[in-house]
Structure formats: structure tokens, C-alpha cells
Structure 1
Amino acid sequence: MLKKIELPVTGMSCAACAVSVESTLAHTEGVKSAEVNYANQSAIIELAEASADLEVIKKAVQSIGYDLLIEKPQAEELEKQQEEAYKRIRKNTIASGILALPVFIIGMFWMHMPYGNYIMWALTSPVLLVFGRDFFTNAVKQAKNGKANMDTLVALSTGIAYIYSTFNTFFPEWLASRGMEPHVYFETAAVIIFFILLGRMLETGAKAGTNEALKKLMGLQPAHVILFQNGTETTVPVGEVKRGEIVVVKPGQKIPLDGNVIKGSSYVNESMLTGEPIPVGKKPGDKVFAGTINQQGNFQFETTKTSNETLLSEIIERIKIAQGSKAPIQKTVDKVTSYFVPTVLIVAVVTFIIWSISGYEDASLRGMLSMITVLVIACPCALGLATPTAIMVGIGKAASMGILIKDAESLELGRKTDTLILDKTGTITEGKPKVGMVHWRDAQINEHMLIPVVEALEGKSEHPLASAIQNHFAHDGVRPEINDFKSETGKGVSGIAHGKLYRIGTLKWLQSSGVSLDHKLIQKGEEHLENGSIVVYVSEDTSLIGVISITDKIKAGSKAAVEKITQMGIEVHMLTGDQEKTAATVARSVGISHYESGMMPEDKANYIKALQQKGKTVAMAGDGINDSEALVLADLGIAMGKGTDIAMDAAKATLMHSNLQDIPLLLQLSKKTVVTIRQNLFWAFIYNIIGIPIAAGILYPAFGFLLNPMIAGAAMALSSVSVVSNSLRLKFSN
């Protein structure tokens, strides 16, 4: 059985690093597939078998200069590691900046001061060999495995400048005797290292902001719980609590784990899950969920899940996996990046050769500087950050609005949606049907015998309408035994009681089963249908004996949501298994002109296929098991958070608040995210397309302009920061 895990990766410094790690993982024994995300420094690995040796996979990653944390740290520990890494890069940046500044001043303005070259050499050496040593050690590790990345570019460019300048400092006569000025470029090497470190420091700080929504969710679960053991209360870390233990919750506290109330009562604010601001009453037997807030009253509950299994932890894990997934456009970028660094190395060498044979004064020196500039300015970081940072912010923004998005592809698909299909019950309506009226055929019907039969039959069904009927007919008497029970999706239920065959379901189904019609009952049913009620019929053997009308209120925001979606240029359809008149009334009430009634699950699926064959990009919103096939077939499946687990598993996005007004928010966010990705990619590509030829010296013959490597280093650093900053704008979008 395949197993998918997400593990942190350390040591990655650019998009090419992520491509390198991904390639290594994909070719490692025991790994079926791998996706490495540079933006959140993690790898999603699909193991070929659950028993795959993670140590072997870890060593494979270590062999190319990175590390895989197979003993996945807790969120707090990982955050601490990231904070320490940020402090380390900040310290190196500040130290290199302090040393690079005098080197820059001497090199640019006082280059002929006594012992100037020696002073610059003394200050530059620690910048490269201490504060920037990671560039060189990582480049060597990459070279050993026949690979290259951003560190390779930095190490080559600064290393060449440093070695050349050091040689000219201690052996100036070698060039001087050949009629050449022994220039030094310590300021170039020192300032480039400083700017790249500065860019990474700003980038690390900015990337931390992309996960704020996730941190807020993680913060909902308290770190400690109060256990009730042997008559006393003990405070322990939440991670140590097992299933079946008794937890005490006091007023104002967050509920630490999922469980069932066993003692006491209170009201709990569950708005983080449901979006409903009104606290929900809790009494023995009721479920409570981690992250929700106890309003008043003490109670005890028995844990049903550990800290890693709660609904809250599942939501967090889904968001993390979604943020780590790749949009289709990112896979193209990764492919480009994998060829990018080797191409840049070739361009740099060619630049040097062309300059060397150009015949210009000091051609070799100019060629060396141009080669260094090409290596510096060609950093693919901005390219690698363009898509994943926007995806991370977009998915995090959605989570903060109560919308869980399963993967990056789903977020990208929302933009293309031109047709939205809505289920009726539980999606447009509240999904809390109640029995309105009951009509029996005549006075001879024995209601006292019939009511227990109806309740018993519906008690075996899982349909939302079944529970409404069961609740309405609830009685204290003994239920009859039901034999040969059958449930036919979208049609009804049947079973034998007291030696007679009873059916409860649609009129069409009863009629096709050979039940004779009673015109008075049918007329009553028609009257309720005209009022928008759902009508089910009851038969005994082959006779129609009763009509039950059921009302399901339309959600308050459904009409406004449909109007907004229509204004966005999206065609809205409603598909339901209910009767035509009920469907027509509901569709008319919310402003939907395209609707179909009496739809079986396979009918919904075929309807979606037909639309897709016409070239439509279809989104489907539903909440029930009967919607699961349609949700899978739709280009974008959207499940209601209050629906079934099967529907949520099948869908690509889940509306935790079960509010249709979240659908236009999701579609708008999708468009904004894709626009942001395109903006990021445009600037990243333009930066490299324009920057590399200028760095190579293409403007020199016509304008005498040669780009300074230091300026190239600053521009490269700022390009990465600008891409991340542009992505962060999504957080503040409406």
C-alpha cells in the first residue's frame, strides 16, 4: 500500500536546490514519487511501500549536501529551528555587511591608499571563508554528485574574484611585468556575498509570513491538558494524552482534543469549525472538538483521538500538504530551472572566451568581470519562488476564511470555472428537513400500527429525509422487526413488517413497483409540491396509503451567492433527486434557471460529463454520499463542511462553514492567485532575460556600459524579495 508523507528538508537555498533534491528522491529506492517545495522547505514523498527505509532516503539526500528530517519535529520544534536558522543568517549578514563596507569604500574611492590591498584582503577573507562558507561547501558537495545550483554560481563568481585579487595582492609584479595593471576585486567578492546573504535573510523573513494562517490554526490547540486520574486533576502535555482518558475543561479554556462529553454541561464556541457565532450546548454524549472554546460551565470528556488525530490536526495537515503541492505551471518552471544553472555556467564561460578574443583593452579582465556578473545575476531564486509562495499565501488565505483547498492544482482550476453545479439539499437549503404535514388514505388506516413501521423503516436509512421522518414519528413504543430491508439511492426504502411489504419513497418509484395510485393522496401531494415542499409517499403492499410533506428551508445567503456567481459570468445549474415541482420552486427562489430534478448519482455524473464534452470547466458543490461521484468527476469539486466525510474526501475544496457565499470568495481568490503567479513569473523571467545579456556585456560595444558585479548582486537579492512581497499582497486582498 502506498504511503504519502511530508518531511522537512534543510539546506536548500534556491529553486535549483529543490529540483536537485526532488530528482535525487525520485531515483532513490523505495520512493515512488516526490515533490519538493522550496518555498516551505519540505518534501512530499510517496513511498512505494509503507516499510520503505527512510534512513536510506535520508542518506541519499545528505549525499548531495542537504538533509531530510525523517523524525518529523513538532510544530514548535520546527519553528524553533527555523528561528535559529534565521538568527544565524542574520548574524552572518550583519557581520559580512560590517566588513564589506570598508572594503567597498577602499576599493571604490581609496584604492591607492598604502596597504589598501592587504587591508581589503584581511577584511574580505572572513566574509567569504567564515560568513559565506556555506556557499563553497554546498557547491563542492554538488560538484561531487555532478550537480550545480545557486551556491555553485555564487561560489564560482566570488571565488574567482577573490583568488584573482589575492594573487595580485601578493604577486603584483607578475601582471605588471607583462604591462597589465594588477587590479583587485575584493569589494566585488565581499559585497556580492553580503547582498546575497541580505536577500536570503529578507526572503526567509518574508516566507515566514506566508504561513501565518497555519500558525493561527496550530495555536488553537492548547499545549497542556488537565487529566482527571484517580480522583485528582493533573496537568500534562497534550502530546502525552491517549485515547480513552478523561479530560477536564474549565470556563474560557480551549478544548485540547476530540472526544465525547461524559459529565457536566456547557456551551462551546465552535465558530472556527462551523462559522456559526452562536455557542452550541454540550451535554453528556455530545461530541467536542479540539480548538473550540468552552464558554461557561465545567465538564469532563473522554478522548476519542490523540493530538495527531483530531479534526483540527487533520485540517492543519491538509493545508500543509496543499501548500506543498505544485500547480501545473510550477512543474514547467521546475523543468526550466533544472536546465537553467548548467546553461548559465556555459554562458559565463562563453562570455569570458568572447571577451578574451575581442581585442578590447584589458579584454581578459573585462571578460572575467563579465563572467562573474553573469554568474551572480542569473540566480534562479526569483523564478523558483514565483509560484510556490503565491500558492502558499493563497491556500493560507483560504484557510483563514474557512475554505480548505486540497492542492495547488485545485486553486489554479477555480480561475477557469465557467459552470457551477449545485446540489439542493444541504447545499442550497439548510439540509435540516422537517415533516410538515402527513395525510393518510382514509380513517380505516391504523395509524398506531403504521407509525412504528414508518419509524422503523426510516431508522435503517441514512438519508437526511429519513431522519426527519423518524424524528417526527418518534414514539416510546416497541418498533416492529423489519425484514428484507432495501434502500435504493434516490428512490426510497422498503421492508417487510407484520407480513406486509411497505415502501416509502418517490411516487415514480412506487408506481414503477406496481403500486396503485390514490388520486386524493396525489392531489394532496401536488398541493405541497406547489409550495416547494418535498413529498414522499407510503405504500402498503400494492396500495398507496399515505403522503408525507417535508420542508427544508433555503439558506439565508444562497440567493445572494447565486446572484454574485452569475455576475462573475459563471452559469449556475442545480441538480437534485427531488421531484420536479420542489426543484422548480427552490431554483426559482434563488434565481437559478438551469435545473434538473429526479437525478440519480449516475445522472449527476453523466450531466457533468456532457457539460465537459461541450468544453465547459465545471465546478460542483455538494454534501452527500450521492454527490461523491459527481464531485470526483467535476474539474473542481467543492464539499460542504457539514456534509459527509466521503463527500469531503472526494472534493478538492471544502467549505467549512457550509456557506454558498464562500464559493465566489474561493473563485475570486483563485483568479487573484493565478494573476499573482503570472506577475511573479513575468518579473522573474524578464529579470533573467534582460539581466544576463547586459551582464555579459552586450551594451559595451554601443554604449561603453559594463554592469558592475556588485550591482548585479544587489539586483538579484531584491528580485527574490520582490517576488515574495508581491505574493504576500494576497493576504490583504478582499
Structure 2
Amino acid sequence: VANIEKALAKVPGVISANVNLASEKATVEYLRGEASMADFRRAVEGAGYSIRAEVGAEGIAEPDVVMAATRREIRTLKTKLIFAGSIGLFMLLIAVSEFSGGWSWLPPFFSNHYLLWALATPVQFWAGWQFYQGTWGALKHKTANMFTLIAVGTSAAYFYSVAAILFPGFFAAGGREANVYFDTAAIIIALILLGRFLEARAKGQTSEAIKKLIGMQAKTARVVRQGQELDIPIEEVVVGDIIIVRPGEKVPVDGIVKEGRSSIDESMITGESMPVEKGAGDEVIGATINKTGSFRFETTKVGKDTALAQIIKLVEEAQGSKAPIQRLADIISAYFVPAVIVVATMTFILWYFWGPAPALTFALLNFVAVLIIACPCALGLATPTAIMVGTGKGAENGVLIRSGEALETAHKIGAIILDKTGTLTQGRPVVTDVVAAPGFKEVELLMVAASAERGSEHPLGEAIVNSAKEKNLPLVDATEFNAIPGHGIEARINGQKVLLGNLKLMQDRGLSLDGLEEKATRLSNEGKTPMFLNIDGRAAGIIAVADTLKPNSKEAVRELHRLGLEVVMLTGDNQRTAEAIAKQVGIDRALAEVLP
């Protein structure tokens, strides 16, 4: 980390450079025109590393580019791991056979040290070549890193073994046995490669969280240019474009409605459990889903400026951020490696001059042991890997973590803020109450309402249809179906004219409610959405729908209170619904109608 940061910082025009070892990303702040990507590439390669993918300042990292590079790395590491591991285990098997009383159960050919030398060489200089590259890059900057420990340690074991094969007389003259330790070098390289393979695979899985967020975006947009409707890639949309959105489609980018009305599912952005009615002058957010009507809107934000892009950027910055303890670990690592090399050298000297015979063998083995055991892989990787995997897993589950520092200071939390939709509640509306007016039955109301809503794409209508199906009620086909955006629906069922919708729809049609207003108010106060049903001009009853609580929500809030935390609910839903849900689960405070 320190080597790359120093190399990048030396590039003329660079203000600051921050490198995250776990996510393998470098963030460089520089003066435009005074430095270029080519300069950064030369600096990184000069430090003994390579750039897999370049991401400019104009937008979000392209997930396919990053994932492709990660997959290539995983394939390469897997190949080298299998190769080094197989040869290392084979050599270990030979060593065990030798120490257990000879080579009796292995063919004599395998006792040939030249064979072991031939097998160990590609492991040392092909599978382990990356360690030499890292060491050379560090030496050019007059420093050392954890690759230095691995390269020096395994090279010592390898070249000692080569010397034992080529000059056995030298060892015999000193009263020492010419043992070889090719297996030690191969096993160490295989174990280090195993760790790097598991690390790379974890990073690949974490990157999927970012890819899922980016996958929420629409791929194309229907724009109006020179009086014609054109389907164009989302990347070609510009601010000021007029875009048409039809029912069931995603809103491509952020903008303001110019014409038409519809209801839009904004739950993935705001947490609003019910679709939000939109009309002229209202803002729409990219990646949200249009449920009912068609509308036209003017683009106000595209690319990296959209709300979803900002959320993705937040997750990426959190994964690449450094916690205070990680910055401390980076500083320690810079001094730790040279100190270990000094200690290992002293160990060799002590064992060589004052150790038991064969002194050289014991001195070398202990020298290698100190270098390998002290390898600061955990010191350099533990914190950034935890931050990267934690923030990625959080994003996958809808939890955005601002930074690594936020994770580190989490133990000081005194209050916790919970989202409502999908966190405390199920995240989907269901029928909770059916209130029948005099002369009507509840089953009849549900059957008529579900039959009318079969042609609707609105989540409230889907909830009514699902409730009727769960009760195995017979449904009939509706005729003269008409969706009234922002109000409800009308249809004809078995010759009867059916109207289902909100209070405003009934008032606009001048229909009597026969005293159902009071019951509707009570249901609203409980956080439910009441819909009035009118059949042939008569008030038939009310069907209430709500996003119900998860079974474990109350217990979770009680546990948080037991830990001494204040619990606050934050939601894009309306104040009445928020207060009702908060009361049900025992939450201290509810903040409603807020945006991300």
C-alpha cells in the first residue's frame, strides 16, 4: 500500500493518493492537465504492480470491466494454486515417507533429488513469480513489503536445496547431511496462493453487490426528438430530453413530469410502501417503476448525477475508505517488514554460530521460519477486507454504510435508525380488513373487488386479488375496465357497475358513503390504506390494505432497547402510517416523508 501511494504521490500534479489493498483500488486526486492515466500506470508498474482496469473521473466503475478482471485473476490464481499445491503435497508425501523409514513404499525414482529440483523450479519461479515482482518493485523504492518476506524465505529454502544437490561434498566435509527443502518452499508458496485465491473470490462476490445496484438502471430510454419517438441507450440521454414512460417500465433517469399522470413504485429509493401518485411538476427518480399510467418527463439528471448513481458511488467509496485503525496498520506494515528481516538475519547468525549441529541447516530453517511466520498478510488485509466485505454485504441487503470509519466507531452508537419498508415490514401490501356495509357480506365484497382488480397492475389491486385467491373465492372477468390514475378503478362485474378507490374518487362522483368515513379514518390511523367499494351507486364497504409487520420486528426492537439504544424509524411513507407502525413495534420516534 505505502509503496504504491508513494509512487503515485511522486507523479507531478498529484495532490493525494489513497490505495485500498483489499478492494485493489487507488483513488488519485490530481490537477487536470498536469497528470494522465499513462503517468499513473507507469508509476504503479514502476512500484512492481499492474493496473487491471482504468476508471476515469466521469462516472461509476463499469462492473463488467472490474468483474472480468477479477475473474481473470481468480482463474490465474486457481491454476497456480492447483499446480503449486499438487507438487507441494507430492513432495511432502515423499518427505514423510523418508522420515518414516525410507522409500520402501515409493518407487526409487522418486528419491531422486534432481526430480524434486525439477518439480520445485516452476513452483518457485512461475507460481511464485508475483512475489519476486513485488519484491523488486519495493527494492526500487528502497523499501520492503510482505512479498519480500515470502520471496526471501522461499528463495533461501530453494537455493539451499540446490546447493545441497550441487555441492554435497561441502556439506559432508562440515559433518552435515545434504538435506533438501524444496517441499518447504513449495508448500509455503501454495499456502500463500490459497490465501490470495480465497481473498480474490471474496472480492468477486462483494463486487456483485455493486453490480446488482447498477443492474437496477434501465438500459434504454424512449425519447422524443424532432417530433419522433426514439429508443436510445441510457448513456445517450442528455439533460433536457423529453422521455416517455409507459406502464410497467422503469423510469430511465431523474426528471420532472411535464404531461400525464401515473403511480410509481419508489420503494427501492425512498422506502415508500405504496406507489406514489405523480403529475405535472412532480419529480421522478431513475430506476423506479411506473405502475399504471403513461407520462412524459423532462430529464434533469443523467449518468453519475442521478440518485441511484450517487447511492452506488456511496457504496464504492465506503468499500475503498480507510478506517483509522487501517491507516495505523499501513504505517506499522512499512516498518514491520524491515524489522522482521533484521530479526530473521540475527536468528540465522545466532543459530549458525551457537546452535547445535548441523548448524547451517538449523540456522537456515529458523531464518525461513521467522520470515514466513511474521508475514504481515493479516496486518495488511484484515481491516480492509472486513470493510469491503461488510459494506458489500450491507449493500446487497439494502444497508448503505458510509465509510470504514463509521464501522469502526459503531461501538459508540447511542441510537439506531431503522427503515420501515422491508426492514420492519414485509415490504409488500396485503389485505388486513374487509368492512361490509349493511346489506352486504365481506366475502361478496372481496370477490367483487378482486374480480374488478384482475385487470389492474397496481400493488393494492394485486393484494386484493391475492387475498381472494388465498380464500379460494371464484372470480369473474370484468368488462369496461378503466384505471383512474391517483384515484382507483371502475369496471362492470356481472352487469353491476363497480367503483373501487379512495375518498376523493367517491367525492368527485358525488357518491354517498353511508357513514363509512369514520371507519375509514380509524383504519388510516392504524397505518392502513382504506379503499371504498361502491356497487351500482350504493356504498358496499371498505377494503383496507397495509404493509404488515415482520413476525420478528417487535422482538428486534425490544432487543435494541435492552442494549440501551434509542430506536428511531425513518421512512418515505406518510406521517400517519409511520406513527401507526412505530406504535405497534414500540419505536421511540418516527420521522416520515423523507428522501434519501
TM range (shorter): 0.5 to 0.7
| Distance apart, 1:379 and its partner CA | 1.9
* Counterpart AA for 2:563: M
The counterpart of 1:42, out of the listed 14, 22, 25, is 25
Please name the residue that 1:215 is paired with.
211
Does the 8 A contact of 1:58 with 1:70 survive in 2? no
The counterpart of 1:106, out of the listed 67, 75, 94, is 94
Distance 1:233 1:378, change over 3 A: farther
Residue 31 (1) aligns with residue 31 (2): no
Please name the residue that 1:312 is paired with.
308
| Distance apart, 1:354 and its partner CA | 1.1
| Distance apart, 1:77 and its partner CA | 1.0
Distance 1:246 1:117, change over 3 A: farther
Please name the residue that 1:76 is paired with.
64
Please name the residue that 1:255 is paired with.
251
The counterpart of 1:391, out of the listed 374, 387, 393, is 387
In the alignment, structure 1 segments of 5+ residues that lack a partner are: 1-17, 422-555, 574-587, 594-620, 624-639, 644-655, 657-734
CA deviations over 1:374-416 (Å, ceiling 9, x no partner): 2222221212222223323443455456554432223333421
The counterpart of 1:363, out of the listed 359, 362, 376, is 359
Does the 8 A contact of 1:107 with 1:186 survive in 2? no
| Distance apart, 1:565 and its partner CA | 6.4
| Distance apart, 1:179 and its partner CA | 3.0
Does the 8 A contact of 1:243 with 1:304 survive in 2? yes
Distance 1:231 1:121, change over 3 A: farther
Output the CA distance in 2 between the equivalents of 1:589 and 1:116. 77
* Counterpart AA for 1:86: I
Output the CA distance in 2 between the equivalents of 1:195 and 1:170. 28
CA deviations over 1:263-297 (Å, ceiling 9, x no partner): 54432211011112211223344322222122244
Output the CA distance in 2 between the equivalents of 1:84 and 1:329. 31
Residue 642 (1) aligns with residue 581 (2): no
* Counterpart AA for 2:24: Q
Larger deviation: 292-301 or 76-85? 292-301
Output the CA distance in 2 between the equivalents of 1:136 and 1:392. 27
Distance 1:138 1:393, change over 3 A: closer
The counterpart of 2:44, out of the listed 33, 36, 61, is 61
Output the CA distance in 1 between the equivalents of 2:82 and 2:355. 41
Does the 8 A contact of 1:251 with 1:294 survive in 2? yes
Output the TM-score relative to the length of structure 2: 0.65
Does the 8 A contact of 1:211 with 1:392 survive in 2? no
The counterpart of 1:286, out of the listed 282, 285, 292, is 282
CA deviations over 1:229-257 (Å, ceiling 9, x no partner): 45655544322332233444444333332
Residue 151 (1) aligns with residue 147 (2): yes
Does the 8 A contact of 2:220 with 2:231 survive in 1? yes
Output the TM-score relative to the length of structure 1: 0.53
Matches within 5 A, 1:250-649: 250-399=246-395, 403-418=399-414, 567-570=562-565, 642=594
Please name the residue that 1:637 is paired with.
none
Provide the secondary structure at the position in 1 that maps to 2:144. coil
* Counterpart AA for 2:36: L
The structure, 1 or 2, with the larger RCO (C-alpha pairs under 8 Å, 6+ apart) is 1
In the alignment, structure 2 segments of 5+ residues that lack a partner are: 418-547, 569-582
Distance 1:224 1:201, change over 3 A: farther
Provide the secondary structure at the position in 1 that maps to 2:272. coil
The counterpart of 2:160, out of the listed 152, 161, 164, is 164
CA deviations over 1:499-532 (Å, ceiling 9, x no partner): xxxxxxxxxxxxxxxxxxxxxxxxxxxxxxxxxx
| Distance apart, 1:104 and its partner CA | 2.6
Does the 8 A contact of 1:136 with 1:151 survive in 2? yes
Please name the residue that 1:96 is paired with.
84
Does the 8 A contact of 2:330 with 2:380 survive in 1? yes
Distance 1:398 1:201, change over 3 A: closer
Please name the residue that 1:616 is paired with.
none
Provide the secondary structure at the position in 2 that maps to 1:308. helix
Output the CA distance in 2 between the equivalents of 1:420 and 1:253. 35
Provide the secondary structure at the position in 1 that maps to 2:303. coil
Does the 8 A contact of 2:323 with 2:408 survive in 1? yes
CA deviations over 1:641-691 (Å, ceiling 9, x no partner): 826xxxxxxxxxxxx4xxxxxxxxxxxxxxxxxxxxxxxxxxxxxxxxxxx
Does the 8 A contact of 1:106 with 1:116 survive in 2? no
Residue 22 (1) aligns with residue 5 (2): yes
Output the CA distance in 1 between the equivalents of 2:394 and 2:338. 38
* Counterpart AA for 1:642: V
Residue 116 (1) aligns with residue 104 (2): no
Distance 1:161 1:269, change over 3 A: same
CA deviations over 1:153-197 (Å, ceiling 9, x no partner): 111111121222123223333323443211111111122111211
Output the CA distance in 1 between the equivalents of 2:164 and 2:416. 70
Does the 8 A contact of 2:344 with 2:370 survive in 1? yes
Output the CA distance in 2 between the equivalents of 1:277 and 1:592. 18
Does the 8 A contact of 1:29 with 1:57 survive in 2? no
Please name the residue that 1:726 is paired with.
none
CA deviations over 1:562-589 (Å, ceiling 9, x no partner): 987654335799xxxxxxxxxxxxxx99
Matches within 5 A, 1:648-727: 656=596
Please name the residue that 1:138 is paired with.
134
Supply the RMSD in Å over aligned alpha carbons: 3.6
Does the 8 A contact of 1:268 with 1:282 survive in 2? yes
Please name the residue that 2:180 is paired with.
184
Please name the residue that 2:469 is paired with.
none
Identity between Structure 1 and Structure 2 (%) = 41
Output the CA distance in 2 between the equivalents of 1:242 and 1:563. 49
Does the 8 A contact of 1:420 with 1:571 survive in 2? yes
Provide the secondary structure at the position in 2 that maps to 1:360. coil
Output the CA distance in 2 between the equivalents of 1:25 and 1:254. 41
Please name the residue that 2:196 is paired with.
200
Output the CA distance in 1 between the equivalents of 2:22 and 2:197. 14
Output the CA distance in 2 between the equivalents of 1:404 and 1:65. 34
* Counterpart AA for 1:76: D
Please name the residue that 1:690 is paired with.
none
Larger deviation: 167-176 or 117-126? 167-176
| Distance apart, 1:75 and its partner CA | 2.1
